[in-house]
Amino acid sequence: RVWSMVQGMGVHGEVTMTGGVAKNRGVVALMAERLGRPVRIPPEPQIVGALGAALHAKQVVSHPSS
């Protein structure tokens, strides 16, 4: 499923995988092999989406639209 998404979007520049699948070394290695480039993994990949949502919520609350 991840590979299908990558093929549909195309890849340019650095690649970072997030989410629980990023903790699967086999999937990460296969993705790097197919892309022909390294794939970066953040220290806690499974919480990156939640962190981004929290930062977005903070911005919305701090600057509500009129």
How do the pLDDT tens digits run along the chain, 66 residues long?
777 877 788 788 899 999 999 999 999 999 999 999 999 999 999 999 999 999 999 999 998 775
For residues 33 and 3, the answer to whether their CB atoms sit within 8 Å is: no
Q: pLDDT value at position 66?
A: 52
Q: pLDDT value at position 2?
A: 72
Distance separating alpha carbons of residues 46 and 31, to the nearest angstrom: 17
Which residue from 33, 30, 37 is spatially nearest to 11, judged by alpha carbons? 37
Q: pLDDT value at position 56?
A: 95
Q: Which amino acid is at 42?
A: P
Which residues are paired to 40 by β-bridges? 16
Exposure on the CB side of residue 27, measured as CA atoms within 13 A:
13
Q: pLDDT value at position 39?
A: 96
